[in-house]
Amino acid sequence: MSAVARPMQPPSSEHARAAGPRRHVVTAELMGTVASAHVLTASSSPAPDVAARIAAAQSAAMDELHEIDALFSPFRADSQISLLRAGSLRPEDADPRILEVSEACVRLASASGGRFDANRHGWLDPTGYVKGWAVERAAFRHLAPLLAEDGILAAGLSAGGDMQLVTAPGADWVWTVGIADPLRPGAVRAQVPLREGAVATSGPAERGAHIVDPRTGYAVRDAPTATVIAEHLSDADAWATVAVVAGFDDLTWLRAAPDCSGMLIAADGRIRRWAHGVEVAVVPAETALLS
């Protein structure tokens, strides 16, 4: 999956800009990409006990992502996914999270009309789902509880640019997510303000035509780039893949998707946008390239 969304961070008021919230960041290489845990504090120097809890939460989030990667990676011979595929692990003896993800993938295959299918090889390969699910899970389990601390404004967890973001209810902070332009490397195509929620992008920009249509078994040709904004990253990540498989001209999948907004960028530069499941614009290629 090619994720090209990236967080940008102007605060939402002149006072916040002047105060200069401090961003605490931890990064790690995992799941074949780079993950980062961000926590924003109102003070540039939080109390030592608060700083220690932030560090512990970030470490726990990364540990969980490493654990899930070891559990689900089809590229590791010792992962439970690989052991199940080889027949050396019985499904009833597998980690309960395997069943949770498997059931979610079955529901997604049905809802998407087969545009997503983690069992298309005849065995479970949830790589198109599990990264978003893992980031969402770790963000809510380890980073979101920090918002109860005085002086902590917001937190976010990202892997490969796909992110789950949370903000304290009374905090004067808005995340601004920059959506990279797949046709102009290094350029930002759009910016989305977001207090709470998830953003995921899928498409050929970084890895070429690697997304396979399960209905045909072939990689999607002339695939668009899809960015989906939803409440949960497990949804945003999976349905961004569905959008790519469906193609630029097909938005019928929106009827079955959870409440979401987003955009499609075609290989020729045309753009389609939707908000809460309703299309709001189709932008011609020549206009999109000039804007």
Mean pLDDT by 10 residues, the chain (291 residues): 49 49 93 94 88 97 97 95 96 96 97 95 92 98 96 96 94 92 88 95 75 91 94 97 96 96 94 93 58 44
| Residue 282 DSSP SS3 | strand
Q: What is the pLDDT of residue 204?
A: 76
Report the distance separating Cα 171 and Cα 283, nearest Å.
35
| Residue 252 Cα to chain centre, angstroms | 22
Give the number of other CB atoms < 10 A from CB of residue 287: 12
Q: What is the pLDDT of residue 11?
A: 47
The pLDDT value recorded for residue 17 is 46
Q: What is the reported pLDDT for 5?
A: 52
CB-side neighbour CA atoms (13 Å) of 110: 5
**Cα distance between residue 154 and residue 165, in whole Å:** 8
**Can you give the length of the chain in residues?**
291
Task: Give 84-97 pLDDT, tens digit per residue.
Answer: 999 999 999 999 99
Amino acid at 141: R
Model pLDDT, residue 291: 44
Cα pseudo-dihedral 124, 115, 283, 290, rounded to 10: 40
Cα–Cα distance, 259 to 254 (Å, whole number): 9
Backbone angles phi, psi at 77, to 5 degrees: -65, -25
How do residues 92-121 score in pLDDT, each as one tens digit? 999 999 999 999 999 999 999 999 999 988
3-state helix, strand, coil in the chain (%, to 5): 35, 30, 35
- Looking at residue 62, what is its pLDDT? 98
> Which pLDDT score, from 0 to 100, does residue 121 have?
87
- Check residue 148 and report its DSSP letter: G
Q: Output the CA torsion 183→186→259→131 (10° steps).
A: 110
Give the whole-angstrom CA distance, residue 227 versus residue 199.
7
pTM over 0.95: no
